[in-house]
Amino acid sequence: MRQLNIGTDAYIITNSSLQALFNKNINKSLIKSGLTFYYKLVPDSEKSKSFSVAVRILTDLSAYGRNKRLFILALGGGVIGDLAGFVASIYRRGIPYVQIPTSLLAQVDSSIGGKTAVDLSRGKNLVGSFYQPKLVLSDVGLLRTLPLRQLKSALAEVIKYAVIADRELFIFLENNLSGILAGDKTCLEYIVARCAGIKAGIVSRDEKDKKGIRVILNFGHTLGHAIEAAGNFKVYNHGEAVGLGMLAACGISRRMSLLNENSCQRIEDLIKRAGIPMRIKGLDTKKIIAAQYHDKKFYGAVNKFVLLKGIGRSVVMNNVPLEIIKEVLRERV
């Protein structure tokens, strides 16, 4: 951060648990580098990703920031990263920010690519910006504190990168899944670096999500978001819903004769071995389909799916027949 010359005063947005875990090391390192710091704590829940919390932080920033060379440091998972990035993007028309993601999901996904957002009561991520962090500092040592359910659900995103763009990573996952689940540092470092590289590569070719390239990152997310929404974001977490969405997208790909039976089976097996749910429980498929039709990604089309032509090869299809969507969902209930 010192080398990047992004400012002298770190405004750290985090929650109290993370502060308690990491503040000693962070403070020591910042002091050593001649940087000042200040902690702004937000509640440890999805509710922090709201417009009202953003306003509170902006008001606080405007009081604290006078005569300082501020930059924002987001210490947390996706919620804190998205919120902090949004605040950084609009305070004084943008000040530098740094991501220190503390969850595997944030390390492989949300901290990379500069999509920032907060929620409105009408829906998730309705307000936000495209704004790149100056630095993403991913340390897998921070992950030891994560519950296993979260670690496993992040694996859904890791598997996503492999199946859409990186056959080699897919084979690595097949061969090293137990090491990853046991928290082996070398394995985790490999997948974090590999996923960050894949995402950065895709995003750099389509930063504002306008060229139909970045959209492949939504593999599994079309129905995944609908499954999350149909369960009011309580039944399945993001990674689990994406896992179920990927299974459905594989099913659609196979039914549309894009993906062969063997590849489809290998993907299903990997998802199963990762301990990600294979069945949609307690949700009505009608509700999922209704939620899907409100997804902002269809804005202007009937629907849009990222499908597979093979492991590591993706394709975007518009207007998949509703009957096929219903079939693959019924198969998962």
Of the candidates 51, 44, 40, which has an alpha carbon nearest to the alpha carbon of residue 12?
A: 40
Assess 94 for contact with a second copy (CB under 8 A).
yes
Indicate the residue type of 324. Answer: I
Of 92 and 205, CB closest to a second copy: 92
User: Among the residues of 128-184, which ranges form H helices?
Assistant: 148-165, 167-181
Assess 149 for contact with a second copy (CB under 8 A).
no
Distance CA 200, CA 184 (A): 24
Assess 36 for contact with a second copy (CB under 8 A).
no
Distance CA 75, CA 146 (A): 14
State in angstroms the smallest separation of the CB of 126 from a second copy.
5
Instruction: Count residues near a second copy (CB under 8 A).
Output: 33
Assess 294 for contact with a second copy (CB under 8 A).
yes
Assess 309 for contact with a second copy (CB under 8 A).
no
Of the candidates 269, 271, 214, which has an alpha carbon nearest to the alpha carbon of residue 246?
A: 271
Assess 289 for contact with a second copy (CB under 8 A).
no
Binding segment for a second copy (CB under 8 A), chosen from 114-122, 220-228, 248-256, 325-333, is: 114-122
State in angstroms the smallest separation of the CB of 129 from a second copy.
6
Assess 55 for contact with a second copy (CB under 8 A).
yes
- 17, 62, 318, 319: residue in contact with a second copy (rule CB under 8 A): 62
Distance CA 257, CA 263 (A): 12
Task: Retrieve residue 48's tokens.
Answer: 């922090």
Assess 208 for contact with a second copy (CB under 8 A).
yes
Q: What are phi and psi of 148, to 5 degrees?
A: -60, -35
Assess 211 for contact with a second copy (CB under 8 A).
no
Of 22 and 86, CB closest to a second copy: 86
Of 91 and 170, CB closest to a second copy: 91
Of 80 and 118, CB closest to a second copy: 118
What are the contacts of 143-148 at 24+ separation with CB within 8 A?
143/102, 143/103, 143/104, 143/107, 143/183, 143/188, 144/183, 145/21, 145/102, 146/102, 146/103, 146/104, 148/181
The DSSP H or E segment spanning 14 is strand 9-14
Assess 212 for contact with a second copy (CB under 8 A).
no
Give me the residues that bind a second copy (CB under 8 A), please: 51, 55, 58-59, 62-63, 66, 69, 86, 89-94, 115-117, 120-123, 126-130, 208-209, 294, 296, 299-300
